[in-house]
Structure formats: C-alpha cells, structure tokens
Amino acid sequence: MRFPRVMLFAFAASLSSLAVASNVDAVYYPDQGKVVLPNLKVGNLVYFAVLNKIPGTNDFRLDLTSVNNLSAPLTFTPAATSDLIGTFTSAESPTSSATINADGTYSMIQGANTDKNCPAAGGTESGTWQYEPSTGVFSAVALVDHNGQCGFSNPSGIVRIKKVGTDIYFMEGTDQQKLIRK
C-alpha cells in the first residue's frame, strides 16, 4: 500500500532529532499488527522501520530495534527492477514458484511441506509488490493469502534482492536463496 504525501514524524535513537518524511511507502500487515516502512526517506538518508500496533488502540509505536539505516554503503549490488520480472523458483523450494509482473502484481504457489511455517498441503498467495533499486529493498502486500505464514506476506525482517553476475538472490536477514528463472 502506498501512501503518497503522508507526513510521518519519526523519532528514533539513531536520529538526532525529530524528522519529517514525505512520500512514505508503507506495507500494512493487519494479521501481524504492524506497518513496515521499507524505504523511509528522511533528508538524505533512507531507513527501514516497523510500526507495531498498540493493543486495544488504533495507535502504532515505532519499534526502535527495527530501525536500520539503508543509506550506508551497500556491500552488494542490488538487482535492477527489470531483473525481477518473470517466474522464479529456488533450489531450496523447487516445488514453489513466484511470478512477479511488471504491473506491480505477483502470484506464488507454495509447495507441500516446504517450510515449518507453511501449511502441510502448501498454498497460494497473490498481491502487489514494490521495489527500491537504490537499496535493494523488496516489499509486498498480499491481497489473497492461502499459504499461512509463508511467502512475501510474512517477512521476518528486511527483504532485499541482490545480483551477482547474472544470478539473482532473495535475501531475508542472513538467509539468502538463489532465484532460478523458469
């Protein structure tokens, strides 16, 4: 979900003062009670941050442990947006695949027994995606989610896409999977 011209006030320990950001991309995960800000631009810096819903209210609190400065020099080469368009699988999950479309939509099929967090029978997911090639940050919003805690809709942190030669890698935390174009 994109919120154009949203004014966001963010105060974090890593920021020395109150900062105002505009044109904020935000991904809302209602089942997890969080809003992910994958590319929060504050001045000349870019941050990743998570807002957690305060139970019993309509308010959100910045998770200070989630704030990551994405402006630091990258230790990898992000993939170009055009590199992401197509259908992919991975060596780790050959019975699963994801199709990323140029119109900003995606669909995926999770194979049976591919992950402890997935339903044993597998499942499907589809929705919209965003990608910031300057930082390599990828985010998605599931509009249909029938694969449990699997897929793009349930990231455990920053998701980045890197390119090494002609190979594309999906990175989540310290885990990375080589994507195989079908």
Closest CA to 126 of 110, 115, 112, 113: 110
pLDDT digits (tens, 9 = 90+) for 119-129: 777 889 999 99
pTM of the model: 0.72
- pLDDT at residue 101 in the model: 96
User: In the chain, what percentage of residues exceed pLDDT 70?
Assistant: 86
Q: Which of 165-169's residues contact partners 24+ apart within 8 Å by CB, and which partners?
A: 168/79, 168/83, 168/84, 168/88
Q: For the chain, how many structural domains are there in total?
A: 2
Per-residue confidence band for 2, with pLDDT thresholds at 50, 70 and 90: very low
Q: How far apart are the first and last CA of the chain?
A: 28
Mean pLDDT of the residues in the chain: 79
- pLDDT at residue 34 in the model: 86
74 located within any domain: no
Identify the three-state secondary structure at position 64: helix
What would the two tokens of residue 73 be?
A: 């020099």
Residue 98 reports pLDDT greater than 80: yes
- pLDDT at residue 8 in the model: 42
Alpha-carbon span 180 to 108, nearest angstrom: 14
Q: Which of 11-15, 44-48, 68-72 has the lowest mean pLDDT?
A: 11-15
Identify the three-state secondary structure at position 179: strand
Alpha-carbon span 52 to 66, nearest angstrom: 10
Residue 89 reports pLDDT greater than 60: yes
Residue 9 reports pLDDT greater than 50: no
- pLDDT at residue 117 in the model: 67
Same domain (yes/no): 44, 124:
no
Same domain (yes/no): 86, 62:
no
Which residues constitute the domain of residue 21? 2-69
Identify which has the larger pLDDT, 100 or 153.
100
Can you tell me which residue has the tokens 């105002």? 20
Same domain (yes/no): 117, 65:
no
Same domain (yes/no): 64, 87:
no
Same domain (yes/no): 87, 177:
yes
Residue 21 reports pLDDT greater than 60: no
- pLDDT at residue 104 in the model: 93
Neighbours of 174 (CB within 10 A): 6
